[in-house]
Amino acid sequence: MKNLNLIEAIIKYRSTIGIIGLIVVLYFSEPTILSIPIGFFIMLIGVSFRGWSSGYINKDNELATQGPYSLTRNPLYFGNFILGTGIAFAAHNIYAYIICFVFYFLFFPFLIIIENRRLKGKFGKEYETWSKNLNTFFPKIKRIKDSQFNISFYMKNREYKVFYFSLLIIAFFVIKYLIKLKS
């Protein structure tokens, strides 16, 4: 129980640390004419995976097992990882990759531990049965168990904000690249 409290304390500050990390990435970024569109494409894959996932999750009310949740237990975290990789690629700087990977490997394993314990406590046997055939993070390539994507879940989870956030970051890279061209 003591370890769980430490983990929760670390996780509590992940957003603040993430924002600081992003500011450092943006500051040191050296975007290029190729890194921006390729990075944006990678970001869109992450945003799309997150968006697809959010249309299946009715947080704390039912266990999501369909769509991307039939491929991995943590599709939102996987989408975040792809999104972060796209940001690092667009930034075109080794520090961006280091910050991205350190952030994900520092926080996401702990988030997954907490999430697994919470879901197991809430959904018991249903969670155990569902989770035993899935990877924790990377999706298994197999036939997708699909029910219908629920746009109201997507809106309730405010996933559209991630897309807007991604556009803002790419706009920053474009502006920084254009300023570099002028000088």
Closest CA to 51 of 172, 178, 165: 165
Read off the amino acid at residue 2: K
Interatomic CA distance for residues 149 and 54, integer angstroms:
9
More confident residue, 111 or 168: 168
Residue 92, by phi and psi: left (phi above 0), alpha (psi -120 to 50) or beta?
A: left
Name the average pLDDT for the chain: 89
DSSP conformational letter for 150:
-
- Weakest mean pLDDT among 36-40, 67-71, 74-78, 144-148: 144-148
108 and 70 in contact (C-beta within 8 Å)?
no
> Is residue 5 a contact partner of residue 102, using CB atoms and an 8 Å limit?
no
Q: For the chain, list the domains and their CATH numbers.
A: 2-182 (1.20.120)
d(CA 147, CA 62): 14
88-107 pLDDT tens trace: 999 999 999 999 999 888 88
pLDDT at residue 75, rounded to an integer: 94
pLDDT at 4: 59
67 neighbors 144 (Cβ within 8 angstroms): yes
**Is the backbone of residue 60 left (phi > 0), alpha (psi -120 to 50) or beta?**
left
Q: Are 64 and 147 in contact (CB under 8 A)?
A: no
Beta carbons of 66 and 145 less than 8 angstroms apart:
yes
Name the more confident of 172 and 115: 172
Residue 7 pLDDT > 70: no
Q: How far apart are CA 30 and CA 17, in angstroms?
A: 22
